[in-house]
C-alpha cells in the first residue's frame, strides 16, 4: 500500500474493555507504547491495577484502572460518568462465551452473554461516539470473531452475538466515516487466551491459532489506514476460511462444522462458561 494511504493513529486517550488479559491487555500495551493514556475496564480489579501501574511506569502514560461489570444496565452512560473527559479511541473487546449444547446452558448465562457481547458494544458506542463526532476525530474498534461468518453448533449464542457485532460495525463504518471517525470490526480466529486455557486447545478450533500480539497488530494496521475496510480478519488462513464460509450452503456447512466441533458436544464439555 502506498505510504500516502497510511498514517499512525495516535489517540490521546483510549478506553479498552476486557483489558485484564488476552487481546485487551495486548491492545493496552501496544497503545501505551504509542503514547496513549488508557482507561482499562474489566471486572478483575487487581489485575487491572497491576497492568495500569506497569504501563504507567514503562511508558509514562496515565492509566486508569476501572473495575466495571458490563452486564449491568446502561453500561455506556454509567462508565462515561465514572471516567470523565474525552475518549479518542474506543476498543470494545470484552467478551463472554458459553460453549456446549444449547439446552445444557442456563438461560441466565445466555442473558449475560448477550449483555456483554451485544448490548454493551452498542451502549458504549452510543455513549462515546457523539463527542468524537463533535470533535471530528476518533476511532472505534469492535472485536468480533471469525465465528461471526457462520453459525457454529455448540457456540450458538456466541456466534450469533459476534455476527451481530460484525453487521452493526459494518453499518457504523459507513455512518461514522462521514464525520471523520474510523470504525471497523476486528475478527480474530482462535487466539491463545484464557478461553482455550479453560476449555482446552482441541475444543472449538475452526481456523489457525494466533497470539494476541498478532491479532492486535492486525487491528492497528487497519486503524492506521486512512480508509480501513468495514471488517478485518486476523490471519491469512482465517480470512480465507471466513470468506469460504459465505459460499457454502448452510445445510452443508453447519453439519460439517458440527463434526469439527465434536469435542464440545460431548458430556465432558457441556455448559462451559468463559468470561475473562
**pLDDT, tens only, 44-86:** 999 999 999 999 999 999 999 999 999 999 999 999 999 989 9
Judged against a pLDDT cut of 90, whether residue 156 lies above it is answered with: yes
Beta pairing partners, 99:
272
Fold of 8-274: Rossmann fold (3.40.50)
pLDDT for the residue numbered 228: 93
pLDDT for the residue numbered 206: 58
- What mean pLDDT value characterizes the chain? 88
As given in the structure block, the three cell numbers for residue 142 are 469492535
pLDDT top residue among 134 and 274: 134
Q: How many CB atoms lie within 10 A of CB 192?
A: 16
pLDDT for the residue numbered 112: 96
pLDDT for the residue numbered 273: 54
Report phi then psi at 260, rounded to 5: -65, -40
pLDDT for the residue numbered 268: 43
Task: Tally the residues of the chain.
Answer: 276
pLDDT for the residue numbered 237: 87
Report phi then psi at 132, rounded to 5: -60, -45
As given in the structure block, the three cell numbers for residue 57 are 511506569
pLDDT for the residue numbered 244: 81
Report phi then psi at 184, rounded to 5: -165, 170
CA distance 37 to 33: 10
Whole-structure pTM value: 0.89
pLDDT for the residue numbered 265: 41
Judged against a pLDDT cut of 70, whether residue 194 lies above it is answered with: no
Region 165-181: what's the mean pLDDT?
Answer: 97
CA distance 116 to 17: 10
User: Catalytic: which of 149, 158, 164, 195?
Assistant: 158
Q: What is the 3-state secondary structure (H, E, C) of 148-195?
A: HHCCCCCCHHHHHHHHHHHHHHHHHHHHHHCCCCEEEEEECCCECCHH
Region 122-139: what's the mean pLDDT?
Answer: 97
pLDDT for the residue numbered 203: 47
> Closest by alpha carbon to 159, among 206, 194, 197, 196?
206
pLDDT top residue among 255 and 39: 39
pLDDT for the residue numbered 208: 74
Cβ-contact 146, 189 below 8 angstroms: yes
158 is catalytic: yes
pLDDT for the residue numbered 267: 37
CA distance 16 to 269: 30
Buried b (16+ CB within 10 A) or exposed e, 163-183: bbbbebbbebbeebeebebbb
Where does the pLDDT of residue 14 fall: very low under 50, low under 70, confident under 90, or very high at 90 and above?
very high
Region 125-139: what's the mean pLDDT?
Answer: 97
Region 141-158: what's the mean pLDDT?
Answer: 93
- Name the percent of the chain lying above pLDDT 70: 87
Amino acid at each position: 500500500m502506498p505510504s500516502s494511504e497510511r498514517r499512525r493513529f495516535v489517540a490521546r486517550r483510549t478506553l479498552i474493555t476486557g483489558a485484564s488479559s488476552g487481546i485487551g491487555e495486548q491492545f493496552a500495551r501496544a497503545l501505551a507504547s504509542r503514547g496513549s493514556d488508557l482507561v482499562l475496564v474489566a471486572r478483575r480489579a487487581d489485575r487491572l491495577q497491576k497492568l495500569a501501574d506497569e504501563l504507567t511506569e514503562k511508558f509514562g502514560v496515565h492509566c486508569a484502572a476501572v473495575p466495571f461489570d458490563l452486564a449491568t444496565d446502561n453500561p455506556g452512560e454509567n462508565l462515561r460518568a465514572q471516567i470523565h473527559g474525552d475518549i479518542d479511541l474506543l476498543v470494545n473487546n470484552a467478551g463472554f462465551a458459553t460453549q456446549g449444547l444449547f439446552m445444557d446452558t442456563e438461560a441466565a448465562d445466555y442473558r449475560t452473554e448477550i449483555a456483554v457481547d451485544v448490548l454493551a458494544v452498542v451502549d458504549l458506542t452510543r455513549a462515546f461516539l457523539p463527542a468524537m463526532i463533535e470533535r471530528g476525530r476518533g476511532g472505534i474498534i469492535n472485536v468480533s470473531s471469525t465465528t461471526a461468518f457462520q453459525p457454529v453448533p455448540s457456540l450458538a449464542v456466541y456466534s450469533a452475538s459476534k455476527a451481530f457485532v460484525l453487521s452493526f460495525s459494518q453499518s457504523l463504518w459507513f455512518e461514522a466515516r462521514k464525520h471523520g471517525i474510523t470504525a471497523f470490526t476486528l475478527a480474530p480466529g482462535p487466539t491463545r487466551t484464557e478461553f482455550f486455557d479453560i476449555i482446552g486447545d482441541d475444543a472449538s478450533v475452526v481456523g489457525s491459532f494466533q497470539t494476541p500480539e498478532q491479532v492486535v497488530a492486525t487491528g492497528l494496521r487497519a486503524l492506521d489506514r486512512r480508509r480501513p475496510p468495514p471488517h478485518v480478519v486476523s490471519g491469512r488462513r482465517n480470512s480465507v476460511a471466513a470468506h469460504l464460509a459465505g459460499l457454502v450452503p448452510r445445510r452443508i456447512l453447519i453439519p460439517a462444522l458440527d463434526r469439527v466441533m465434536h469435542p464440545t458436544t460431548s458430556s465432558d464439555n457441556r455448559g462451559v462458561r468463559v468470561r475473562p
